């Protein structure tokens, strides 16, 4: 017996490019083998509970528009109906994974102990549903930004009681993630940042955050949770400045606290854009440090200064992202979450399916293009050629030399280096052959 | 005998706020004591050779407009005339410091050895002028971004010969800085970054840059140069992405290479803005890590997406910057450089003086406001009160506790923290009392 | 008998600059005469009902934080309590004006007719309060963006029934504004714009909007409402693109529909910033066309890509805005509304007062500086000198000449114009003498 | 006899998608018929002389990198060599059009009369080359922004002699365009804008610009030039604010001066981006007013705040642009110019060809996708359905009704409109079927 929410909509299945059915996959064939691995195993799609089921359609200038049967979300009965609908959608899409915040799953109401109890209740319920489904948990996380208690941050809060509450909350969420077999646990620093430096002590808050993350890592080991611990860079919003600004900032922070081997990054395209970076930049930076964990492959409107969290739909951009992911070895524990935050005017259940089908198909197309580029090897060859000079032992030796010796050699040999073309246009055209 | 370039202009002197003379200081009195130190010793103003004397007025859409007597700058005789004019301006302003790139001082022409020789010639000439002047050298630096050889970077270049050329160039510039008694040596990573990831190997380039900087530090110690080594964050321009993106990125990089105690930051307001940060953010971040070295207190147009390098003129913003500088102990070896890049239409010698007088006066006003706030203590008191809960030994103990213990306490004590006002409006109004 | 909401807070009164009382005016003395007019009559401050009383502290990532006694706002009794508190604040501030959306005043519930009835009830209630207060109505407006019916626009909606509903709503709001003696009526095109061009017919929507505005003007005349009709430019948010993008766009639209003498602009600093303009730009553009109506003198965070609606606190910027307003003759029917949207963490009643006191004081300081500059005449003199060449009758004659004749003259007279300095630095320093 | 510049490079010819030759067209087949017209006649590609031949590789931080045989460009002999090379490239590409500024063609040196003479000389030379080539002139324009005389604007200059010089210059350029059979004449307001409002009189400058444009239109008619007169929107750069900010601003300006039927718009993707708009927005806005003239289909880096003028390479974006162009009837006199400004590191002649081939192929792919969408009709059908309510005569009647009557009907009929889904996700997926 179904909820009836998706009545009239058929499962989305692969039909290939001739298909015009708006809810069929034209590119995503889970079983197609790409570079020796099934596409489903490469992409590891996860549906995000928050935008797809918990967001009610409000924005800063207006209230809810969606009016789902499980809204308003202040009741455990409706929380279970929401889970029923969610799993119906996972089945329709053939989604291998999903992910959640605690507050997506059930209402936050009452004391910490009461919230912990309802979290256990709903995750038991969800666990049962998972048994009858192929959909697994990519990651869980704690929402420590929506309730007013978090308004000045969680682990970085000026009030130590809120730090305590945050620690307890994360423990509960890691436990729940572990119980459901989650492959990762994510921390997004929602309000870990500041509104104004006038009332903020950066040193204290940095120390609180470093210690907090260390405790999370300790706890993971203590309970034998083998998932990755991930942090998620974002430059701002809701805070004026978020401490996890971008990949480089997070990496610096992890290294400062000695966590560079324990924590990896969950990168989001939209957050990259808001920080002034391309998504492939963030991926490449994380990969260069061995800290690429998982991704949120959504899309941000380039002209909006806030998080629009749309499903990915630009294949050339997505292809470059997967190119860097594949180059770094692809996902092991991580995967492709994508926020398919509907536009506020997209009221119909069909819109929800369309957003996910469109996003998955775009990713599949991007992945195949990326794999083709890697297999062709054109970019790698160009790179090897460009840096070939450094393969020379003398060049390598210079890296352990000193300024005086190098200067002497420059003078003696009359070194007068001539620039060579970077050939960017040719490489950009090359990419367009594959997308 | 003077060059006559500033004929008709009198030395800028402090006249106080009633003054209407456009070239008098209304706030900057070098001898006024602020928080126990002369204002000149606090601010340590440095005039930047590049914009004030080397830039000819061109922009991406047009050629030179200034037509100074020492332009075009392809001749050693005119280079000396430029130095003469520069020192005349230093005297007119009573500037305690100046700073330069090698390419500002003399034309780059011919081989490395020839350039080294002309650098020695011109720095000898400048050294003589310094003997007859109060103006000292705040810092020197190498221009490794204008000549076409640097088009793909200096230390991060795909061509090891260019790395070598860069190493030799920096050695020459450190030597020259040391000879002239410079208080700091700066590296700005002009084209250390990339135009496209398609032709870039982030791992190699990162290693090249890390090794290069280590060599610079080694060399400093070898020759007994006691100035600070500084790197200068900037997010982009001329490169699409600069490796020294912002303070946090630089700090992470320095820590990765074990240079966190050897290198400090030279922060620029305009670069902060382009990276999406306020200037006080960058200062506070560097100060929190003990890496605040020196500043470029210029101003970027908030609506222009490129470096406008204007002299500072917004007192409230400048006051907040100095507030964080004073809180961090003020400058020791660093100082206040400010780019007074004239607008391209500002052709007259008087405009050049006006830009510097305006910038210095704005800084002086900001410094006095910052000092008054610190002496009043209102912001510090508010901060202490906001974080007072953390002074509790139990709160501190929690930082070395673990998630399980904290959760147990939250449950047991029924901790239900209530948010308290951040009072941002009150603090903003407080600042306005002083500016 | 008061509501007790502001218990313990005294009326904000002018105490001059020695005052350290955080809730005293240090610059705003309503009775001080500036350029022949009382400061209160120049500034015509209006408190905005929406942010100060109707906003509950939510943002896209979190729920309400304020928990005022009149929240949640779904009850007419609480709507009246809100009005009581509002007038208590108007009295505490000595605010000469306020302004509202219909939805700020009372809940929107039920049918159009029911909403019209409650609007009448609450405006009668407010009208009675106005009789016992000095506070008048600067403007009213209709909220046609929060309820889900407006999600695809009001007058530009694809559904003609929504156009009808919008027309009926505006009629009700103009009637209410007229009844309360409002000095202006504003239309802010909240969702008059688009989310995607894929589902948008620009031609149809433009015609709907043009006709709608014409009907509003007709209705104003029909009922003898003598207030100004104002439209409010904003580039985006909540829509991806708002039709009233900026001042120039609105002016072009008004001219197209022949409304340039009937409608003026209500300009907001924050909206100017989001459109890539300075506020004084928008004011100067509107003034140049004789269409400057009124202003929202708030402040947008320069680094946030969304509307932050903070109270103004940067005196130099505010001074330039008022300079252009005074130059255009100052306000007649318009005034200075400023959104003092509290930061979400600013929970206390005192914060609300502080935001308004700080904003009013900043404006007063800016106004006085602007007046001093105008009285001194330095900027006007510089302008006259810069364009003096055009005062020549020959120059003016050229404007009615033709290309051939001008070319002939250029050749014949060998015209070879030499650039003259624009003296921007000197003028910027000049402004700093006054702020 | 050729210049030898492109030695070793073969003509770029259509080879279809299997081709891997980096300099072959894979999509652009000039003779392929799309919607009843040859692709070449649809796209009307024009090579831009400035970036491809006149730009020497400098940027604000560095000097020339390209060192072409015709650089430096201060000699008429080298100007002719440049023309020779240009026509060789036009032939290699099979380009049907080119376009220029006067300053691209020959050096600006000496008096107005001398410059006019060399312009005549070089355009005679170019005219001869055109006789032996298939390449025609899409448009000419005057460079009134590079020489220092234009630093404060051309027609909007405070100095009437510069207005005169501008008028004479434009006359000369229109004459040259007319002589060479140009299909359009463009005015780009390079420095028609301001650096600071402090020294700017918006009213005067607006009037100067309005009169100037009217004279241009008059002159066109006088000499019987039948090309379109086009203005080109750009928000800023080089000026802080450009008067021709965006399409809507230009349209408003044209209507103010009664030129809406005489002047059309030349829209550039990069300028759209810098103004905060999508390119299809600008096209749709111009088309809605019947003012779509021609386009510059280049690409701006989304993360760079300045004009990057790269060749188009994102097919999905280009497809949406051509969709709106085709919907508006396609080009008649206008065409597709695209700035293929090489990256500064792209030194080789091959890079120049690659940039153009890549750009043309991207446009061809976009055009075919756009045509397929139009022929399929899916978007138009969705649009018709969304606005179907307005086809009702009662709905249309409402547009000529009044607020009172509409309100009465809303009350009487109890109109309570229910929102319907905007289906954005479905439409976005639809587009992805074609690109």
Q: Extract the tokens encoding B216.
A: 């610079």
Domain boundaries, chain B: 33-376, 381-432
- What confidence tens digit (pLDDT) does each residue in B205-235 have? 999 999 999 999 999 999 999 999 999 999 9
CB pairs under 8 A between B and C: 122
Q: Which of B46, B83, B34 is nearest to B333 (CA)?
A: B46
Compute the nearest-CA separation of D223 from chain B (Å). 31
Residue B99 in 3-state DSSP? strand
Q: Name the residue with tokens 């290699």.
A: D92
Residues in chain C closer than 8 A to D174 (CB atoms): 403
Tell me: pLDDT of B22 over 80.
Answer: yes
- What confidence tens digit (pLDDT) does each residue in C213-228 have? 999 999 999 999 999 9
Residues in chain B closer than 8 A to D59 (CB atoms): 60, 238
For residue B104, indicate whether it is catalytic. yes
Q: Which of D398, D416, A63 is nearest to C113 (CA)?
A: D416
Per-residue pLDDT, averaged over A42-50, amounts to: 98
This prediction's pTM: 0.98
Going by the annotation, the residues of the binding site of A for Mg(2+) are: 232, 268, 271, 296, 307, 309, 339
Predicted pLDDT of residue D1:
74
How far is the C-alpha of C386 from the C-alpha of D162, rounded, in Å?
Answer: 13
Predicted pLDDT of residue A1:
75
Residues in chain B closer than 8 A to D147 (CB atoms): 62-63
> Which residues 92-111 in chain A show a CB within 8 A of chain B?
111
Q: Is the dihedral of CA C125, C131, C133, C137 positive or negative?
A: positive
Interchain contact, C302 vs B346, CB within 8 Å: no
Distances (CA, A) of B307 to B304, B318, B342, C310, D309: 8, 18, 13, 27, 19
Non-local (6+) Cβ contacts of D423 within 8 A are A346, A348, A351, A354, C199, D382
Burial class (CB in 10 A: 0-12, 13-18, 19+), B110: exposed
Q: How far apart are the first and last CA of chain D?
A: 42
**Which residues of A does the annotation mark as catalytic?**
101, 104
Bridge partners (DSSP) listed for residue A242? A193
- What confidence tens digit (pLDDT) does each residue in C289-341 have? 999 999 999 999 998 999 999 999 999 999 999 999 999 999 999 999 989 99
C128 marked among binding-site residues: no
Compute the nearest-CA separation of C299 from chain A (Å). 14
Choosing from C104, C175, C246, C361, the catalytic residue is C104
Bridge partners (DSSP) listed for residue C192? none
Interchain contact, D59 vs B64, CB within 8 Å: no
Residues in chain A closer than 8 A to B153 (CB atoms): none
Per-residue pLDDT, averaged over B142-151, amounts to: 98
Non-local (6+) Cβ contacts of C222 within 8 A are D402, D404
Distances (CA, A) of B100 to A415, A418, B17, B154, B172: 25, 26, 32, 18, 13
**Which residues of D does the annotation mark as catalytic?**
101, 104
> Which residues 368-427 in chain D show a CB within 8 A of chain C?
379, 382-383, 386-387, 389-390, 392, 394-395, 398-404, 406-407, 409-411, 414-420, 422-424, 427
CA D170 from centroid of its chain's CA atoms: 18
Going by the annotation, the residues of the binding site of A are: 232, 268, 271, 296, 307, 309, 339
Predicted pLDDT of residue B1:
75
CATH class of the domain whose range is C33-376: alpha beta
Q: Does B311 touch chain C (CB under 8 A)?
A: yes
Q: Extract the tokens encoding B263.
A: 């290198």
**What does the H/E/C string look like for chain C?**
CCCCCCCCCCCCCECCCCCCCCCCECCCCCCCEECCEEHHHHHCEEEEHHHHHHCCCCECCECCCCCCCCCCCCCHHHHHHHHHHHHHHHHHHCCCEEEEEHHHHCCCCCCHHHHHHHHHHHHHHHHHHHHCCCCEEEEEECCCCCCHHHCCCCCCCCCHHHHHHHHHHHHHHHHHHHHCCCCEEEEECCCCEECCHHHCCHHHHHHHHHHHHHHHHHHHHHHCCCCEEEEECCCCCCCCEECCCCHHHHHHHHHHCCCCCCEEEEEEHHHHHHCCCCHHHHHHHHHHCCCEEEEECCECCCCCECCCCECCCCHHHHHHHHHHHHHCCCCCCCCEEECCCCCCCCCCHHHHHHHHHHHHHHHHHHHHHHHHHHHHCHHHHHHHHHCHHHHCHHHHHHCCCCHHHHHHHHHHHCCCCCCCCCCHHHHHHHHHHHC
Tell me: pLDDT of B371 over 90.
Answer: yes
Tell me: pLDDT of B26 over 90.
Answer: yes
Tell me: pLDDT of C1 over 90.
Answer: no
Residues in chain D closer than 8 A to C322 (CB atoms): none
- What confidence tens digit (pLDDT) does each residue in A347-383 have? 999 999 999 999 999 999 999 999 999 999 999 999 9
Q: What was the ipTM of the complex prediction?
A: 0.97
Mutate to test the interface with D, among A302, A305, A425 (most CBs of D within 10 A): A425
Whether omega for the bond prior to residue D238 falls within 30 degrees of 0, making it cis, is: yes
Non-local (6+) Cβ contacts of A114 within 8 A are none
Residues in chain A closer than 8 A to C240 (CB atoms): 301, 303-304
Interchain contact, B288 vs A431, CB within 8 Å: no
Per-residue pLDDT, averaged over B69-94, amounts to: 98
Residue D34: other Cβ atoms inside 10 A: 21
Dihedral (Cα; A12, A15, A16, A21), 10-degree rounding? -70
Non-local (6+) Cβ contacts of A368 within 8 A are A27, A34, A39
How far is the C-alpha of B67 from the C-alpha of B55, rounded, in Å?
Answer: 10
Predicted pLDDT of residue A327:
98
- What confidence tens digit (pLDDT) does each residue in A70-120 have? 999 999 999 999 999 999 999 999 999 999 999 999 999 999 999 999 999
- What confidence tens digit (pLDDT) does each residue in C158-200 have? 999 999 999 999 999 999 999 999 999 999 999 999 999 999 9
Q: Does D304 touch chain A (CB under 8 A)?
A: no
Low-confidence ranges of chain D (pLDDT < 70): none
């Amino acid at each position: 017996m179904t909820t009836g929410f998706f009545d009239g909509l058929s499962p989305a299945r692969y039909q290939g490019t001739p298909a015009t059915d708006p809810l069929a996959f034209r590119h995503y064939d889970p079983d197609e083998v790409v570079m020796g691995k099934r596409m489903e195993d490469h992409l590891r799609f996860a549906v995000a509970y928050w935008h797809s089921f918990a967001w009610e359609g409000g924005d800063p200038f207006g209230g809810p528009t969606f009016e789902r049967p499980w809204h308003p979300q202040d009741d455990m009965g409706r929380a279970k109906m929401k889970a029923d609908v969610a799993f119906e959608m996972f089945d329709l899409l053939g989604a291998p994974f999903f992910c959640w915040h605690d507050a997506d799953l059930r209402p936050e109401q009452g004391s910490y102990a009461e919230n912990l109890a309802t979290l256990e209740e709903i995750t038991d319920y969800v666990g049962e549903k998972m048994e009858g489904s192929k959909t697994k948990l990519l990651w869980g996380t704690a929402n420590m930004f929506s309730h007013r208690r978090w308004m000045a941050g969680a682990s970085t809060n000026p009030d130590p009681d809120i730090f305590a509450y945050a620690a307890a909350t994360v423990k509960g969420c890691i436990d729940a993630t572990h119980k459901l077999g989650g492959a990762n646990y994510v921390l997004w620093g929602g309000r870990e940042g500041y509104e104004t430096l006038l009332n903020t002590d950066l040193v204290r808050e940095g120390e609180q955050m470093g210690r907090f993350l260390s405790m999370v890592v300790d706890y993971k080991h203590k309970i034998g949770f083998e998932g990755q611990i991930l942090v998620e860079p974002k430059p701002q919003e809701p805070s004026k400045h978020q401490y996890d600004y971008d990949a480089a900032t997070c990496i610096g922070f992890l290294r400062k606290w000695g966590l560079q081997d324990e924590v990896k990054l969950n990168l989001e395209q939209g957050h990259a854009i808001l920080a002034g970076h391309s998504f492939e930049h963030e991926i490449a930076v994380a990969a260069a440090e061995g800290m690429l964990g998982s991704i949120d492959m959504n899309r941000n409107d380039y002209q909006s200064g806030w998080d629009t969290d749309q499903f990915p739909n630009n294949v050339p951009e997505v292809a470059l992202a997967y190119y860097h992911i594949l180059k770094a070895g692809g996902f092991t524990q991580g995967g492709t979450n994508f926020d398919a935050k509907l536009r506020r005017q997209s009221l119909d259940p069909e819109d929800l399916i369309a957003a996910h089908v469109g996003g998955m198909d775009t990713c599949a197309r991007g992945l195949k293009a990326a794999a083709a580029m890697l297999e062709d090897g054109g970019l790698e060859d160009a790179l090897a050629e460009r840096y070939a000079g450094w393969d020379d032992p003398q060049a390598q030796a210079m890296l352990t030399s000193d300024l005086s010796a190098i200067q002497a050699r420059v003078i003696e040999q009359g070194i007068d280096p001539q620039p060579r073309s970077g050939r960017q246009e040719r490489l950009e055209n090359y990419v367009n052959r594959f997308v």
